[in-house]
Amino acid sequence: MDKKNRDLNYSIYPSDKNIHPKSFTPDYKSSILRSPKKSPLSIKNIISDLSGHIFEKNDLGSLDNDLIKNYCKNSEPIGERIIIFGKVLDENSKPIPNSLIEIWQANSSGRYRHNGDNYNAPLDPSFGGWGRCLTDNNGNYFFKTIKPGAYPWPNGGNNWRPAHIHFSVFGLSFLQRLITQMYFEGDPLISICPIAQSINNKNALESLISKLDLSKSVHMDYRAYKFDIILRGEKSIPFENRK
C-alpha cells in the first residue's frame, strides 16, 4: 500500500451538526452577542500544533484531583462528598491516555471562588473549586469533590443553573481542547435551563448527564457519579478529512 492510501486508511466521522447547539439561541441571552456573524475559517495546522505532551504525572501534585483536600487549611469543605470518575475515549472506543483533565465548579452553596461572582451565597473557606488529573493508560480519570449547588444567573428572568462541573479536556497539545459541562442525573433544573435546552438532540444532552453508580460509592462517605467523555477521533474534523 502506498503512502497516500495508508494515510486514508482510517475511519472518518463527518461532523454531525444536529448534536450541537446553534450558536445563536435567543433564550440564552448571551448567545445573541457572542454568536459569530461570519462563517468559520479552517486554518492549516503545523506538526507542533498537534503533538507534544502537555504534562507528565510528575508535574501534578498528589492532591490535584482531590478537591476535598487540595485547598483546605484546617477543616474540610461543607457539602455532599462525591466521586466523579469515567473514561476518555475516541469514537472507536479507543482509550485516550495521558489526557490532561481540568475541572472547576461552584461550592455546595452555588458560589464560585472568583472575584466576578457576586451571588450572595457564602464562600466556603476550605473549598477552592478546582482540580486536575491525567488519564491512565486505559483512559480512566478520577476526582473527589463536593457536589456543587445550583445558582441564579442574569438571563433576563428567574433562571437557575443546574448543578454542574466544568471540564477542560486536552489531547496531545493545547490546541486540541474540549471544554464542556457535566450535569447530575435527576436534576429538575436541566429541563428548564436555557443553556442545557439549547441542545435539541436528546441523546447529546443525555451524554452530558452523569449517572449515579452506587457500586463505586464509598459506604458512609462518598456517592459516585460516572461520566464518560467521547472525543472526536483523529482526522475526524472536516479539514482533516480532505484528500
User: Quick one: 79 exposed, middle or buried, by C-beta within 10 A (0-12, 13-18, 19+)?
Assistant: middle
- Residue 211: inside a domain, yes or no? yes
Please report whether residue 50 resides in a domain: yes
Out of 166, 222, 223, 232, the active site residue is: 166
Q: Is residue 37 part of a domain?
A: no
The mean per-residue pLDDT over the stretch 68-96 comes to: 93
Q: How many CB atoms are located within 10 Å of the residue 9 CB? A: 7
Residue 202 forms part of a structural domain: yes
Identified catalytic residue from 71, 132, 141, 164: 164
Chain centroid, CA 170 distance in Å: 10
From 28, 71, 151, 183, the catalytic residue: 151
Model confidence band, residue 11 (pLDDT cutoffs 50, 70, 90):
low
Cβ–Cβ under 8 Å, residues 61 and 70: yes
Task: Classify residue 26: in a domain, yes or no.
Answer: no
Q: What whole-number distance in Å separates Cα of residue 65 and Cα of residue 143? A: 5
Q: Is 236 a residue whose pLDDT tops 60?
A: no
Residues shown for the chain: 243
Query: For residues 124 and 122, what is the distance between their CA atoms, to the nearest angstrom?
Result: 6
Task: Express each pLDDT in 148-204 by its tens digit.
Answer: 999 999 888 889 999 999 999 987 777 778 899 999 999 999 999 999 999 999 999
Domain annotation covers residue 219: yes
User: Using 50, 70 and 90 to split pLDDT, how confident is the model at 239?
Assistant: very low
**pLDDT tens digits, one per residue of 23-44:** 889 899 889 988 988 887 777 7
CATH code, 10: 2.60.130.10
* Catalytic residue chosen out of the listed positions 28, 141, 161, 225: 161
Concerning whether 151 is annotated as a catalytic residue, the answer is yes
Tell me the C-alpha distance between 123 and 110, whole Å.
9
pTM across the whole model = 0.86
Q: Which of 18-32, 63-77, 109-123 comes out lowest in average pLDDT?
A: 18-32
- 166 included as an active-site residue: yes
Provide CB contacts within 8 A for 56, sequence distance 6+.
Answer: none
Q: Tell me if 194 is assigned to some domain.
A: yes
Range(s) of the domain holding residue 227 = 3-14+45-240
219 is a catalytic site residue: no
How does residue 234 score in pLDDT terms, banded at 50, 70 and 90?
A: low
User: Catalytic: which of 28, 112, 141, 183?
Assistant: 112
- Kindly state whether residue 53 falls inside one of the protein's structural domains: yes
Provide the pLDDT confidence category of residue 9 given band limits of 50, 70 and 90: very low
Instruction: Judge whether 20 counts as a catalytic residue.
Output: no
Q: List, in order, residues 6 or more apart from 216 with CB less than 8 Å away.
A: 83, 85, 224, 226
Q: What digits encode the pLDDT tens for the residues 117-156?
A: 999 999 999 999 999 999 999 999 999 999 999 999 988 8
User: How would you classify residue 133: left for phi > 0, otherwise alpha for psi between -120 and 50, otherwise beta?
Assistant: beta
Which has the minimum average pLDDT: 103-117, 168-182, 207-221?
168-182
∠ Cα 89 67 53 (to 5°)? 40
- The DSSP output letter for 127 is -
Tell me how many domains the chain contains: 1
> Is residue 225 within 8 Å of 187, Cβ to Cβ?
no
